[in-house]
Structure 1
Amino acid sequence: MVTGKAIVLSVLVTLSVVVRTASQLPIPPRYDGFVYKNRISADSVLVEAFFDPLCPDSRDSWWPLKEALRYYKHNITFIVHPFALPYHNNAFIASRSLHVANKINTSYTFPLLERFFRYQQNFYNKPTLQTSPATITQQIIHFALEKTGNSSFEKFVLGFQDKSSDMTTRISFKYGCSRAVTGTPYFFVNGIPLNIEETLDFAKWKSIIDPLLAEQAQAYT
């Protein structure tokens, strides 16, 4: 005899399977994100950042982190995952432009990200409240050309017409959600989240990275 408790349990199991099936992320052909200066080393410390190009906190965290990347060079593999916060109206278009730029030439990606950080106020919600998404897209294309050159104009236009750039930007966001990212900036070091709320300065990054490199060196002696 099937009891009411057994029926409820069966329904819950079924719903669980349905939810898991429906929420399966699309698997991209390559790992999400942009690798800084194409530096990848199996022996390096892996630092991952989830950045919204229009987020002031992401902007403020980048400069001391960039200093650390200069200091450690090949001892750090650094990957940025664009994570467009939904309450920044133009963040998805800005993040999509990074994917388009990266596809055109990987050397364009970080200079464009830095340009967003320097002038992100141009694309904040309030000054663009009456501007259509199509116009914002055109503005961001011309904004990007300041770093990539006018010869990239047609490629940017085609990149935004290509549905794959829309999909990769969505996957970036969903990937962040799958790792429980709820805001930006959000950092992982060797896969472990950094639960630090204040902006990390260069000294703080050293205090995190130096012990890991020392442990690596000790393991090889």
Structure 2
Amino acid sequence: MKMLQVAIVQLAALQVFVIFLSGGADYIPPSRLDGFVYQNGYLDLDTVLIEAFYDPVCPYSRDSWPPLKQALHHYSSRVSFLLHLLPLPYHDNAFVATRALHIVNTLNASATFPLLEWFFKHQEKFYGAQTRNLSRASIVDEIVKSATEAAGSSYYNAIKHGFNDTKTDYQTRVSFKYAASRGVYGTPSFYVNGFLLPDTGATADYKTWRKVIDPLVGVKKSIQNEESLRFFL
């Protein structure tokens, strides 16, 4: 079953790649880099950059987030975190959940990660048999209510309208295409300073993240000390 799921996403990624190639001069990149920045809202290139590709209704993404979040808080300003969303085609309602995150991020960026954690906590509402007999409209209504709790009651109408806005549909498609352009076909997937972190996924616990990041933080500190020393020479 897992091999079939991987094959489905790889085929979709290949189709996206072919579209990129066939677009030629007509292809226009997105207006901004894909992804949501954690906490401070901007990327500091002087820090260790961690990128994650998550599906909001993927159980493995859910399980990998707490230890990664713990590591992010431990290193604080020494690391930057950029979240990319990959709505997997074999996860029910992944596209709708991803779209909700794009909508909320546009309206109130501070509510993006709380909403992601809400999806992680309530995945069973939107996955498998629970939604088999529900209409898409009823699922969207439920997600709008939940997203409003994360963003604030004053955003209800804006969030509801967001699902009728072609821009949010486009943003969600860009997220999928961006993952395909990076060769990502499963979640969770992690990159550190632009390089794929192999053989981790949901098994990356807090100790694993410490082993990965500690040496990199040490190297950056050493470089900064050398630069400071040269300034005084």
**TM-score, normalization: structure 1?**
0.88
Q: CA deviation at 1:125?
A: 2.0
1:48 match: secondary structure? strand
- Pick the aligned partner of 2:220 from 213, 216, 220: 216
Quick one: distance in 2 between partners of 1:54 and 1:135? 17
Quick one: distance in 1 between partners of 2:199 and 2:101? 26
1:77 match: secondary structure? strand
Q: CA deviation at 1:21?
A: 2.7
Name the aligned partner's letter for residue 185 of structure 1: P
The answer to whether 1:147 aligns with 2:147 is no
**Equivalent position of 2:92 in the other structure:** 89
- Pick the aligned partner of 2:50 from 47, 58, 63: 47
The answer to whether 1:181 aligns with 2:172 is no
1:184 match: secondary structure? coil
Q: 1:30-71: per-residue Cα shift (whole Å, max 9, x none)?
A: 110000011521210000000000000000000000000110
Name the aligned partner's letter for residue 209 of structure 1: I
Name the aligned partner's letter for residue 72 of structure 1: Y
Would you say the 8 A contact 2:20–2:27 is kept in 1? no
- Identify the range of structure 1 (142-151 vs 75-84) with the bigger mean alpha-carbon deviation: 142-151
Would you say the 8 A contact 2:87–2:95 is kept in 1? yes
2:52 match: secondary structure? strand
**Equivalent position of 2:6 in the other structure:** none
Quick one: distance in 1 between partners of 2:74 and 2:181? 31
**Equivalent position of 1:115 in the other structure:** 118
Report matched runs for 1:124-143 at 5 Å.
124-143=127-146
Distance 1:93 1:213, change over 3 A: same
Structure 1 vs Structure 2 CA RMSD = 1.7
Distance 1:147 1:178, change over 3 A: same
Q: Percent identity?
A: 45
**Equivalent position of 1:65 in the other structure:** 68
Quick one: distance in 2 between partners of 1:182 and 1:189? 17
Q: How many residues align?
A: 205
Distance 1:50 1:25, change over 3 A: farther
- Identify the range of structure 1 (168-177 vs 150-159) with the bigger mean alpha-carbon deviation: 150-159
Quick one: distance in 1 between partners of 2:177 and 2:124? 26
Distance 1:87 1:68, change over 3 A: same
Unmatched runs of 5 consecutive residues or more in structure 1: 1-16
Unmatched runs of 5 consecutive residues or more in structure 2: 1-17, 227-233
Q: CA deviation at 1:18?
A: 8.7
Quick one: distance in 1 between partners of 2:134 and 2:172? 21
Runs (4+) off by over 6 Å: none
Distance 1:19 1:146, change over 3 A: closer
Q: 1:88-140: per-residue Cα shift (whole Å, max 9, x none)?
A: 12000000000000000110100000000111111002110111112111111
- Identify the range of structure 1 (63-72 vs 198-207) with the bigger mean alpha-carbon deviation: 198-207
Would you say the 8 A contact 1:39–1:74 is kept in 2? no
Distance 1:19 1:77, change over 3 A: closer
2:180 match: secondary structure? helix
2:64 match: secondary structure? helix
Q: CA deviation at 1:208?
A: 0.3
**Equivalent position of 1:8 in the other structure:** none
**Equivalent position of 2:36 in the other structure:** 34
2:122 match: secondary structure? helix
